[in-house]
Amino acid sequence: MTTRVKKYFDIILNHMERSSTFYVWVSILVVVAGLALYAILMSLIYSLEIFEFSIHVIWVTMVSNYVFLVVSSTGLCIVTSLGHVFGMQRYEQVAKRGVFLALVTIIFGMISIGAHLGHPERAMIFNLLTPNFYSAMWWMGALYTFYIVFIAIEFWLLARDDLNERSEQSAGLGKNIYSLLAIKKLDKLPDTMLKNHKLLKSVGAAALISGLSAHNTLGALFGHVEARALWHGSYYPIYFLLSASFCGYAWLLAVSIATYKIKKEGIPEDYKSLIFEMAQVLALLLGAGLLFTAYKMSFGLFTPEKVKPILLFLKGPFSPAFWLFEIAIGTVLPIPILLVAAKQKNSWRAGRLDHGSAGRLCNAIQLW
Amino acid sequence: MGLKEAGGTDMLTILPSQPEDLGLITPPQKVINQNPDKLRITGTGFMGASVLAGLMYTYATLTQEKEKKHRDNAG
């Protein structure tokens, strides 16, 4: 038994190339995950105050975590669906990575909001037993449940070929596990469903529709809160969809380039071309996001009930975070960098830019 | 027997009649979650989602030439 465990452990380590970076990275992740688990446990046993939850500010750390993670997941779903739903084959290069990230971010997003509830088990039981169809929050939970199911099936369909391949390459227990994960029996089905990607297209479309609906409902949930003048109105559902789009592009650009850099592999030409194109689209979306923020702030200044919260951002205690992170670093600075990269793409294609410079531009894109 | 006073005073109020009949003013009942404004806000979001799907379709259509090049390279 011990020998077998040691053998599998060795296989895993060999897959990770036994690099020191890997150990450092895993150690950091283990420490952070341990701290998070401790905080969640303490919040359930003692008090939600560990998340800075208070009667004055009720939507705090875990809600902002949740919003960031589900915005990212929806955005990743939007970008990847350009490939297998809208027929842009070049986007299929990022499909598996994107759908995997979408699945991971939505699962951790749901864990965040579950921890915020204090008694997540009650939500699970009573959402089913006594649903309130007039509640945006109920709809958000229901739609995200559908979204998780669809995105998980989508990832499985994308990963199935690899699982089949691995089962053929492996032997013994590994072979059985991979065969089980790939559900080999499905290979006996008529070719049309799995091999023509029809099922993938349908599931991808279902994930996109449920994801957009759920995300819109999340935005509407903020928009419905009359007690918070800054959020109240039709602005947030639309802005949430826009922010999901640029978040999805940013995630995919950063993670794709980082993966190739960590693996010390060159980015394939087609992939590099897609990265430059994505940078261009991201710059456009960030520009639209900047216009939305300008509209929110200027419109708010002329709306009596919104003036006070708006001033908190413009020249109050939140102003350093707003001007430095949201506006300067998050929106304004990346646009010229991404646009310069997109412009340089043409030089690179025409052979006027060497691969080293293209790589440096990729780094610049990743940085932002 | 009576009704528990609202507001957490733990006092029992026993009235001989309906409050309105005694001239007591009662606030109107709030109708929860039936505010048409909420439908407007949610509806705007769905309209935004439709516009986004339309833009994605337009993006796919406008870049067909690039897509053809990619397919030629891949094939």
Q: To the nearest whole number, what is the mean pLDDT of chain A?
A: 85
Worst-scoring range by mean pLDDT, A45-54, A240-249, A267-276? A45-54
* Main-chain phi, psi angles of B4, to 5 degrees: -75, 130
Residue A293 inside a domain? The answer is yes
What is the total count of domains within chain A? Answer: 2
Residues A272 and A199 in one domain: no
Q: Which helix (H) or strand (E) holds A176?
A: helix A173-182
Nearest CA in chain A to B38: A224
Report which of A101, A100, A24 is spatially closest to residue A69, judged by C-alpha positions: A101
What the block records as the tokens of A183 is: 């559900």
What is the sign of the dihedral through the CA atoms of A171, A173, A179 and A185? positive
Residues A313 and A190 in one domain: no
Worst-scoring range by mean pLDDT, A9-23, A273-287, A335-349? A9-23
Chain A environment of B73 (Cβ under 8 Å): 270
With 70 as the cut, is the pLDDT of residue A365 above it? Answer: no
State how far the alpha carbon of A175 is from the alpha carbons of A164, A181, A353, in Å. 9, 10, 46
What is the total count of domains within chain B? Answer: 1
Residue B10 inside a domain? The answer is no
Residues A76 and A202 in one domain: yes
Q: How many residues does chain A have?
A: 368
Q: Residues of chain A with pLDDT > 70: what percent? A: 86
Residue B5 inside a domain? The answer is no
What is the sign of the dihedral through the CA atoms of B57, B62, B64 and B70? negative
Chain B environment of A220 (Cβ under 8 Å): 38, 41-42, 45
Among A194, A224, A254, where does a domain finish? A224
Burial of B5 from C-beta contacts in 10 A (0-12 / 13-18 / 19+): exposed
What is the C-alpha separation between A292 and A84, in angstroms, rounded?
Answer: 30
Chain A environment of B32 (Cβ under 8 Å): 134
What is the C-alpha separation between A77 and A20, in angstroms, rounded?
Answer: 33
Residues A65 and A192 in one domain: yes
Residues A292 and A145 in one domain: no
Q: What pLDDT is stored for residue A184 in this prediction?
A: 76
Residue A288 inside a domain? The answer is yes
Measure A84 CA to nearest chain B CA, in Å: 11
pLDDT level of residue B1 (50, 70, 90 thresholds): very low
Residue A29 inside a domain? The answer is no
Ranked by mean pLDDT, the top range of A12-16, A321-325, B13-17 is: A321-325
Chain B environment of A94 (Cβ under 8 Å): none
Higher local confidence (pLDDT), A9 or A328: A328
The angle that helices A235-262 and A355-367 make with each other, rounded to 10 degrees, is 140
Q: Name the residue among B45, B53, B67 with its Cβ closest to that of A238.
A: B45
Q: What pLDDT is stored for residue A236 in this prediction?
A: 93
What the block records as the tokens of A347 is: 């030089």
Among A196, A224, A252, where does a domain finish? A224
Q: What pLDDT is stored for residue B2 in this prediction?
A: 45
**Tokens 């516009």, located at residue:** B51
Residue B69 inside a domain? The answer is yes
| pTM above threshold 0.80 | yes
pLDDT level of residue B52 (50, 70, 90 thresholds): very high
Predicted ipTM?
A: 0.83
Residue A342 inside a domain? The answer is yes
Nearest CA in chain B to A74: B49
Q: Would you say A78 and A208 are in contact if contact means Cβ atoms under 8 Å apart? A: yes
With 60 as the cut, is the pLDDT of residue A368 above it? Answer: no
Residue A303 inside a domain? The answer is yes
Task: For an interface test with B, give the residue of A79, A85, A90 to mutate (most B CBs within 10 A).
Answer: A90
Higher local confidence (pLDDT), A228 or A328: A328
Residue B70 inside a domain? The answer is yes
Burial of A2 from C-beta contacts in 10 A (0-12 / 13-18 / 19+): exposed
What is the C-alpha separation between A75 and A239, in angstroms, rounded?
Answer: 12
Residue A47 inside a domain? The answer is no
Q: Residues of chain A with pLDDT > 90: what percent? A: 43
Residue B63 inside a domain? The answer is yes
Query: Which residue segment(s) compose the domain that A77 sits in?
Result: 61-224
Taking any CB pair shorter than 8 Å as contact, residues of chain A touching chain B are: 78, 81-82, 86-90, 132, 134-136, 208, 212-213, 215-217, 219-220, 223-224, 233-234, 237-238, 240-242, 245, 270, 273, 277, 281
**Residues A1-26: tens digit of each pLDDT:** 677 777 766 766 666 656 777 788 88
Whether residue B60 and residue A88 make contact (CB cut-off 8 A), yes or no, is yes
Residues A264 and A343 in one domain: yes
What is the C-alpha separation between A234 and B44, in angstroms, rounded?
Answer: 6
pLDDT level of residue B46 (50, 70, 90 thresholds): very high
Q: What pLDDT is stored for residue A147 in this prediction?
A: 96
Residues A264 and A356 in one domain: yes
State how far the alpha carbon of A334 is from the alpha carbons of A128, A339, B17, in Å. 44, 8, 70
Residues A196 and A83 in one domain: yes
Residues A74 and A214 in one domain: yes
What is the C-alpha separation between A172 and A286, in angstroms, rounded?
Answer: 51
Residues A194 and A275 in one domain: no
Query: Which residue segment(s) compose the domain that B46 sits in?
Result: 31-75
Residues A186 and A286 in one domain: no
Average pLDDT over residues A188-197: 66
**Residues A242-273: tens digit of each pLDDT:** 999 999 999 999 999 888 888 888 888 888 88
State how far the alpha carbon of A91 is from the alpha carbons of A157, A185, B42, in Å. 16, 30, 30
Under DSSP, the state recorded for A330 is I
With 80 as the cut, is the pLDDT of residue A134 above it? Answer: yes
B57 CB within 8 Å of a chain A CB = yes
Among A191, A224, A257, where does a domain finish? A224
Residue B55 inside a domain? The answer is yes
Report which of B63, B41, B62, B57 is spatially closest to residue A208, judged by C-alpha positions: B57
pLDDT level of residue B24 (50, 70, 90 thresholds): confident
Residues A136 and A260 in one domain: no
